[in-house]
Amino acid sequence: MKKLFAVLLAASFLAAPVAASADQHKPGRHVTIEKTITKKKVVERNRWAKGHKLNRAERRHVVNSRDFRRYKLREPRRGEQWVKIDNNFLLVSAATGLILSIAAAR
């Protein structure tokens, strides 16, 4: 009887760490989140055409009012301005953003 009691007592000591570790690995108690980060390089190339509209952010690239001669561009009329985007010069209506003319940079 003493041997049986000693074996059961020893078995309970050995089984106790196994039971404790089993409680820790229950589903729902620990949540593993895996994230994959990828960097995307977006290159937008706009093909400008006469009659298209520029948004306000694109219209901020205004060529200086006296600089148009430096680039051999014609003088803009009242209400027009030259905008340089992607190595292109666009003559744009200042009020609406409508492209009136296109000139390639030299």
Contact assessment for residue 76 and residue 91, using Cβ atoms and an 8 Å cutoff: yes
| Triad 43, 49, 55: Cα angle to 5° | 65
The DSSP element (H or E) to which 10 belongs, if any, is helix 2-24
Mind listing the pLDDT tens digit for each residue in 39-68? 776 656 567 788 888 888 887 887 876 778
Contact assessment for residue 51 and residue 98, using Cβ atoms and an 8 Å cutoff: yes
Is the pTM higher than 0.75? The answer reads no
Of 34-38, 73-77, 90-94, the least confident: 34-38
Q: What is the sign, positive or negative, of the torsion defined by CA atoms of 74, 80, 84, 88? A: negative
